[in-house]
Amino acid sequence: IEYLRPTFEGDELTMLTWVETMDGSKSRRCFYLKRDNKVCMQGWTEWTFVDLQTGRAANISGEVKNDFPLVPADDPELKASGVRRSPSQS
């Protein structure tokens, strides 16, 4: 997480989230937090999918891949929302 501007109680904030990658058992999720159309915080998390019976990493299912399409860093909708680059590229 990279904090770029302070936020305060009562601020109206907008969060943008998207899935950037899915490879094998791992998925990168990116996010931006904005106030007044200015980025206050950006970051990413990397998720590892786990088989609950074995406790080991498991490949991401086709169902999950279909439910969460990948959004590339140069996506026009992200750019229109004020995202200039993926937080994972910072």
> Does the pLDDT at position 73 exceed 80?
no
Domain that holds residue 50: 2-67
CA distance 39 to 68: 24
Q: How much is the pLDDT for 53? A: 96
> What CATH number has the domain bearing residue 55?
3.10.129.10
74 belongs to a structural domain? no
pLDDT in tens, 13-46: 999 999 999 999 999 999 999 999 888 999 999 9
Q: Number of folded domains in the chain? A: 1
Q: If pLDDT is split at 50, 70 and 90, which confidence band does 90 have?
A: low
Tell me which amino acid residue 89 is. Q
In a domain, 6, yes or no: yes
